[in-house]
């Protein structure tokens, strides 16, 4: 029998420490949040922050660190007094590493000073000083100077991310930061403070620090639990399967559901936000069943009740164009193409009784149908389709190169109203099957298809969707004719029946 040994894992301390310092670092704003977190946890009542292009200074009057605490907790990453303290925000003893990545650090506390410069070494210098510092005084000399215009943005972000706890004075940019907050009494309870503030919009706070943005909300409010939340290693995200997170998410979903039920009219963006909440199954569909929150292709909104109970001619997806508008006039429900995948997910999640027509708006519009056709269905004049492909490659690839635009693919299609058209979604050119089958000679096909491609390439992304021919369109069409006419003669010579047959082997 083979011997089995139990072997203990080990770590490469220096490389791991380097990764802890560099890889967990995000923005300078995030590193500054770590400083505030340490100050809150240390019992500080006065905190000051100032930033310039060369560095920053952060001071507090908290507990600070003695020599023994420096040796035990500052020196050792991962060692912390806060790990099992439910009143403290920090828990891992890693946060200070983030500021080390932005510059040379002078960290003074009580009678000691630490100098950290990770560009030179992962060691630090420890000095004993005669001057006593109550709390902490941190000066960072940036490795890379800031642009002056960025400083205002950093202050702005810090203010959004910090919710000053009671009895703590915060001085930012040489002025007291004391935001005015108003409690949402209808929602606040013994576990959560729900509030509004011009500085704090749709955020979750943990111990006075922002940890998550409340997504898809139509209402400006923020939430701060009175008890500490469980965060990930970097302390910038909630642990989603933690009990504290599940309880908080349920609380926020209840707020969103109640607010949605009380609101009567939604604009387009608000309606899409409600659909996103449904797509995440954060609210019940019964709450908004009668609300007009489903965008149609023309921008108008209808309710699930209207869509399900009165589908009329049927339900399809489409963009704003002449075909969708025509379908709407004929009592089809044309849901905005922009929410197609979201809406299908909602249908599946809530098992909604909605059947989608297996057609697009061009096919069912009275203006005529447009759809793809398989090349093998072209049993006559297949050579002329390949002529269109050759003209596209020989003539129009040069034109598009000159215009710095993309060459479009040529497809076979079926239509009862057009010889060719450009797909507004894929931007491909479709040649009508019956149009190709009616050509009598190679020369006729080349000349007609050349003009057809000049026409289709005159459609840009805007006028393709609207399918109109404006003055600009005709000017572009004439320009295409002028620029490509000189190549048609050589195309007539080199595009022979033999060449096509040998190249495409049909």
pLDDT at residue 16 tops 80: no
In whole angstroms, what is the distance from residue 1 CA to residue 501 CA? Answer: 72
The pLDDT assigned to 24 comes to 56
pLDDT (tens digit, 9 = 90+) per residue, 148-175? 999 999 999 999 999 988 889 999 998 9
Pair (350, 383) in one structural domain? no
Specify whether 132 is located in the same domain as 23: yes
Q: Residue 252 class from Cβ within 10 Å (0-12 exposed, 13-18 middle, 19+ buried)?
A: buried
Q: Are residues 384 and 315 in the same domain?
A: no
- Residue 371's pLDDT band (boundaries 50, 70, 90)? confident
Residue 397, CA distances (Å) to 389, 430, 484, 500 in order: 11, 17, 11, 18
- pLDDT tens, position by position, 324-368: 998 998 899 999 999 999 999 999 999 999 999 988 888 888 777
Query: Could you tell me the two tokens for 129?
Result: 């000083």
pLDDT at 63 over 80: yes
Question: Confidence class of residue 23 from pLDDT cuts 50, 70 and 90?
Answer: low
For 85-99, 319-333, 444-458, which range has the lowest pLDDT when averaged over its residues? 85-99
CB 133 within 8 A of CB 42: no
In terms of pLDDT, which residue wins out, 421 or 95?
421
pLDDT, average across residues 124-134: 91
pLDDT at 91: 42
pLDDT at 55: 96
Domain contains 10: no
Indicate the residue among 312, 338, 364 that finishes a domain.
Answer: 364
pLDDT at 398 > cutoff 50: yes
Between 253 and 504, the more confident residue is: 253
Q: Give the Å distances, CA to CA, from 265 to 269, 300, 343, 448.
A: 12, 12, 20, 53
In a domain, 359, yes or no: yes
* pLDDT confidence of residue 8: 65
Domain presence at residue 7? no
CA nearest 322: which of 301, 340, 338, 298? 298
Least confident of 59-63, 194-198, 488-492: 488-492
How high is the pLDDT of residue 1?
Answer: 52
Asked whether the predicted pLDDT for residue 5 surpasses 90, the reply is no
Is the domain of 425 the same as that of 302?
no
More confident residue, 192 or 461: 192
For residue 425, give both structure tokens: 């979604």
What are the DSSP calls for 436-489, one per residue? HHT--SHHHHHHHHHHHHHHHHT--HHHHHHT---HHHHHHHHHHHHHHHHHHH
Does 402 reside within a domain? Answer: yes
What angle in degrees, to the nearest 10, is found between the helix axes of 442-457 and 382-391?
A: 50
What CATH number has the domain bearing residue 89?
A: 3.30.565.10
Is residue 302 helix, strand or coil?
Answer: strand
Order of strands, sheet of 55-60, starting from the edge strand that comes earlier in the sequence: 103-116, 124-142, 55-60, 46-51, 169-172, 175-176
Residue 310's nearest CA partner among 318, 302, 298, 300 is 302
Residue 140 or 81, more confident: 140
Average pLDDT, the chain: 87
Q: What is the mean pLDDT of residues 366-379?
A: 84
- The count of structural domains within the chain is 4
209 shares a domain with 134: no
Which of the residue ranges 93-107, 122-136, 323-337 would you say has the lowest mean pLDDT? 93-107
The total of other beta-carbon atoms located within 10 Å of residue 120's CB is 8
Residue 90 has pLDDT above 50, yes or no: no
pLDDT digits (tens, 9 = 90+) for 452-486: 999 998 887 665 555 567 788 888 899 999 988 98
At 304 the pLDDT is: 97
- How is residue 454 written in tokens? 């000049």
**Residue 382, pLDDT score:** 92
Across the range 7-35, mean pLDDT stands at 68
| 257 in the same domain as 313 | no
DSSP label at 211?
A: E
Q: What is the pLDDT of residue 92?
A: 38
- 489 has a pLDDT exceeding 50: yes
* Contact between 296 and 258 (Cβ < 8 Å): no
Give the structural domain span for 203.
197-262
End residue of a domain, out of 222, 238, 262: 262
Residue 75 has what DSSP assignment? S
Which candidate, 480, 476, 477, 459, places its Cα nearest to that of 468?
A: 459
Q: What is the pTM of this model?
A: 0.65
Q: How confident is the model at residue 127 (pLDDT cuts 50, 70, 90)?
A: very high
pLDDT bracket for residue 505 (50, 70, 90)? confident
Among 79, 95, 92, which residue's Cα sits nearest to residue 30?
A: 95
Tell which of 178, 212, 231 closes a domain. 178
Q: Are residues 461 and 430 in the same domain?
A: yes
| Percent of the residues in the chain that have a pLDDT greater than 90, as a whole number | 58
Q: Could you tell me what percent of the chain has a pLDDT over 70?
A: 89
In a domain, 51, yes or no: yes
């Amino acid at each position: 029998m083979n011997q089995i040994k139990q072997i203990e894992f080990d770590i490469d301390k220096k490389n791991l420490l380097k990764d802890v310092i560099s890889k967990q670092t995000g923005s300078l704003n995030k590193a500054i949040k770590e400083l505030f977190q340490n100050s809150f946890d240390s019992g500080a009542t006065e905190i000051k922050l100032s930033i310039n292009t060369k560095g920053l200074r952060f001071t507090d009057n908290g507990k600070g660190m003695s020599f023994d605490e420096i040796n035990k907790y500052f020196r050792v990453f991962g060692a912390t007094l806060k790990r099992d303290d439910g009143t403290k925000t920090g828990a891992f003893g890693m946060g200070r590493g983030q500021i080390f990545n932005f510059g040379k650090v002078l960290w003074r506390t009580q009678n000691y000073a630490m100098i950290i410069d990770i560009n030179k070494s992962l060691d630090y210098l420890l000095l004993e000083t005669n001057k006593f510092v109550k709390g902490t005084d941190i000066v960072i000399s940036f490795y890379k100077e800031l642009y002056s215009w960025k400083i205002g943005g950093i202050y702005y972000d810090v203010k959004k991310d910090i919710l000053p706890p009671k009895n703590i004075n915060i001085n930012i940019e040489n002025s007291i930061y004391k935001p005015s907050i108003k409690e949402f009494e209808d929602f606040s309870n013994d576990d959560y403070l729900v509030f509004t503030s011009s500085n704090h919009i749709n955020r979750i706070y943990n111990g006075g620090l922002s940890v998550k943005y409340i997504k898809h909300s139509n209402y400006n409010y923020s939430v701060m639990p009175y008890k500490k939340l469980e965060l990930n290693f970097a302390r910038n995200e909630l642990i989603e399967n933690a009990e504290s997170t599940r309880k908080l998410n349920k609380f926020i979903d209840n707020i969103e559901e109640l607010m949605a039920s009380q609101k009567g009219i939604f604009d387009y963006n608000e309606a899409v936000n409600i659909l996103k909440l449904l797509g995440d199954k954060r609210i019940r569909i019964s709450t908004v069943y009668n609300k007009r929150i489903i965008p149609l292709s023309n921008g108008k909104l209808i309710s699930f009740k209207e869509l399900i109970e009165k589908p009329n001619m049927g339900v399809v997806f489409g963009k704003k164009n002449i075909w969708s508008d025509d379908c709407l006039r004929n009592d089809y429900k044309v849901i905005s193409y922009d929410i197609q995948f979201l809406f299908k997910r909602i249908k599946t999640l809530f098992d909604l009784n909605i059947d989608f027509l297996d057609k697009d708006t061009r096919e069912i519009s009275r203006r005529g149908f447009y759809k793809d056709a398989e090349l093998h269905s072209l049993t006559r004049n297949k050579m002329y389709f390949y002529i269109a492909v050759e003209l596209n490659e020989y003539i129009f690839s040069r034109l598009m190169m000159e215009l710095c635009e993309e060459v479009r693919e040529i497809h076979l299609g079926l239509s009862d109203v057009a010889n060719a058209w450009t797909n507004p979604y894929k931007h491909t050119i479709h040649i009508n099957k019956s149009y190709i089958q009616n050509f009598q000679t190679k020369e006729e096909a080349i000349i007609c298809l050349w003009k057809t491609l000049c026409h289709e390439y005159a459609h840009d992304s805007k006028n393709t969707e609207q399918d109109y021919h404006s003055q600009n369109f005709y000017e572009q069409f004439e320009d295409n004719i002028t620029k490509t006419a000189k190549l048609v003669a050589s195309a007539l010579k080199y595009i022979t029946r033999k060449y096509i047959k040998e190249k495409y082997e049909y």
